[in-house]
Structure 1
Amino acid sequence: MNSKTAIKIMLWILTAVILFHLSIILKIIPYDITWGGRLKNDTEMYVFETVSILINLFLCFILLIKGQYIRAFLSMKVVNITLWIFVIIFGLNTIGNIFAKTNFEKYFTLLTLASAILIWITLRKGKTQR
């Protein structure tokens, strides 16, 4: 798989994840089955979900820069370091999801593992070509 394909797949995954978090904010999906069941009230849910959406949007912009879909407002070195940080975060999140309390969260193990692998592919394949 080439870097461009990995970036496109990641952008689709991130779009789905953002829609998932929006559905929690809109109370289509109950928040008690997410975040390890640790959220106690609506205020906590709004804070966690808003931060999550912002982080996912940030990752989208980083991937858009890496794929040369938008003009770089950060150096490629910063983009690559940021992506390595996300590989580590997704890797740790994969381990956390394996030990999650709910089956719903355990299913996200595949998503976080796939995300770590796709970003790793993006980094390992070097510069993307248009």
Structure 2
Amino acid sequence: MIPYEITWGGRLKSDIEMYVFETISILINLLLFSILLIKGRYVKEYLSMKVVDIILWIFIILFGLNTIGNILAETIFEKFFTLLTLAFAMLLWIILNKDKNRAHN
């Protein structure tokens, strides 16, 4: 639907590269989704909460770097995603600090 030339910073040069990058992207999103389910205690905790928190911090860093990359993007289409990646980073920050706020109250 969306031409691959205007995504991934314009780095993709073929359909094969797009399929590889998008497959990796989907797998990473599934990882984030499963980690959030564990954090919310919606599924059995097969990782310790400390590991879950570390993974979420890594995602905050990735979303932060992605936000910077989107700001510096060449196309308006990718610049638009600055708001989305910044929102994701902020929401993860809130999720991670929610437990700390409960402990202080």
Partner of 2:6 in structure 1?
A: 33
* Structure 1 runs of 4+ with >3 Å offset: none
Q: Offset at 1:119?
A: 0.2
Q: Offset at 1:112?
A: 0.3
Alignment partners' CA distance in 2, 1:53 and 1:101: 24
Partner of 1:50 in structure 2?
A: 23
Instruction: Give the structure-2-normalised TM-score.
Output: 0.92
Alignment partners' CA distance in 2, 1:108 and 1:69: 29
Alignment match of 2:70 (pick from 89, 97, 117): 97
Identity of aligned residues (%): 72
Alignment match of 2:33 (pick from 60, 82, 95): 60
Equivalent position amino acid for 1:94 in 2? T
Larger Rg over CA atoms: 2
The residue correspondences of 1:3-42 to structure 2 (distance < 5 A) are: 28-42=1-15
How many residue pairs match? The answer is 101
Alignment partners' CA distance in 2, 1:45 and 1:52: 10
Higher RCO, 1 vs 2 (CA within 8 Å, ≥6 residues apart): 1
Per the alignment, in what secondary structure is the counterpart of residue 89 of structure 1?
A: helix
Equivalent position amino acid for 1:42 in 2? D
Partner of 1:106 in structure 2?
A: 79
Equivalent position amino acid for 1:78 in 2? V
Per the alignment, in what secondary structure is the counterpart of residue 112 of structure 1?
A: helix
Instruction: Give the structure-1-normalised TM-score.
Output: 0.75
Is there any run of 5+ residues in structure 1 with no aligned partner, and where? 1-27
Q: Offset at 1:30?
A: 1.4
Per the alignment, in what secondary structure is the counterpart of residue 40 of structure 1?
A: coil
Partner of 2:55 in structure 1?
A: 82
